[in-house]
Amino acid sequence: MYVCICRQITDKQIREYCADGNASLADVRADLGLASDCGRCGKYARQIIAETVSAVSCKDIAYAA
């Protein structure tokens, strides 16, 4: 689904960019151009970034058996 209509950036592109678990809205904005025109996508993009980074972080947690 398109998140940023102005730059034609999809949620999939944002998730792929954040797949290493170390990204912020500023990083995505600098590299993909997200939220650089009208800015309406910023709130939803921030939510996608947080969800993706959180999911990646949870995978890295190891539990003692």
Q: What is the pLDDT of residues 44-59, one digit of tens each?
A: 999 999 999 888 777 6
Rounded to whole angstroms, the Cα distance separating 50 from 48 reads 5
DSSP string, 35-54: TSSS-TTHHHHHHHHHHHHH
Rounded to 10 deg, the angle between the 42-60 and 25-32 helix axes is: 110
Looking at residue 55, its pLDDT comes to: 85
pLDDT-derived band at 60 (thresholds 50, 70, 90) equals: low
∠39-12-44 over CA atoms, to 5°?
Answer: 35
Q: What is the pLDDT of residues 22-41, one digit of tens each?
A: 899 999 999 999 998 998 99
pTM of the predicted structure, to 2 decimals: 0.83
Q: In order of start, what are the domains of the chain with their CATH numbers? A: 2-60 (1.10.10.1100)
